[in-house]
Amino acid sequence: MSVGKDVITYLAENDWLNENAKRWGTKIGARAITAGTTMTELTPVVQKLNYAGLSTTIVYLGDGLYEKAGALDVKEQYLDLIHLIQEKALDATVTLQLTQLGLDIDFDFCYENVKEIVSEAYNYGVQVTIEMEDYGHVQPSFLMLEQLKEEYDNVGTVIQAYFYRAEEDIKKYKDVPIRLVKGAYDEPISVAYQTKEEIYTNYKKLLFEQLQNGIFTSIATHDQEIIAEVKQFVQQREIPLDAFEFQFLYGFDQQLQEQLVGEGYACSVYVPYGEEWYSYFMNRLAERPQNITKKVFNKKTNTVLATVAGAFVLGSLWGRRKNK
């Protein structure tokens, strides 16, 4: 059976399931797309990718936080992660989400947390990428980037091609490493392109300008049409292969990653780890429900998801009746 996108999205946002998923562990198949819950589990995953010629960017999973104590814990995790990268000589950078570090609590509090991470990373030669979240967080994230880059050159960010503002932003931040993505959040027509074609066209426009102008870009897409066009574009214009990299989510398109590495292209893998794997896992399923039936998710996963979906539907029906 296949589980629809709406059901999966509901499941991803369900607090009870989110909390209880930790008890089931990552048995339901999340280990196929996350690197476990601890740094001990993370390390061999990254080493294996490095051994296959892939660099990595590591992200500590979690949602936005509204308590300072939680944000401080996340900061400590990142400091430990930077030390791990150095100790184990991992080919890795780090990616962080500002709302996990207190952006929704207080800008200055968040800035101090991020600055401590970026500064420690700078000392160890580790690159940091500030992830871009929904539109409401975009402007404060750029503001934070501007403040950080006055002191540090090891910090970059993400441009989401679905935003109308992306063209202006990518020009404005041409001196920082950019990860170019299409954009993952539901955004209104007032700020973002809506159709697949418009987003695809803008992505390619921004990307080819970057490549033409020799600005290092992480091309973060699973879109094979774009990947094929990039290959053609750089070959025709003799753009050096170290002027960009392809970036993939851990666990997806592994064959393609290996093929690209074999062809001499730089590839990096976005490796998520941490206790809060459940909503990341479910959101990846929601983006692409057909993956449930692909090899990355086993038969057991389908059974568990189907059971969970069934339990959830029954539970919500029961909840509705109870509230009557």
Ligand X SMILES: Cc1cc2nc3c(=O)[nH]c(=O)nc-3n(C[C@H](O)[C@H](O)[C@H](O)COP(=O)(O)OP(=O)(O)OC[C@H]3O[C@@H](n4cnc5c(N)ncnc54)[C@H](O)[C@@H]3O)c2cc1C
For binding to ligand X (CB under 6 A), which residues are involved?
A: 131-132, 158, 160, 181-185, 220-224, 247-249, 252-253, 270, 288
Neighbours of 39 (CB within 10 A): 19
What is the Cα–Cα distance from 89 to 124, expressed in whole angstroms? 10
What is the token pair recorded at 68?
A: 């300072």
Give the nearer residue to ligand X in terms of CB position, either 102 or 183.
183
Query: Rounded to the nearest 5°, which phi and psi values hold at 34?
Result: -130, 160
Q: Kindly give the pairing relationship between strand 155-160 and strand 178-181.
A: parallel
Residue 14: CA atoms inside 13 Å, Cβ hemisphere, count?
A: 18
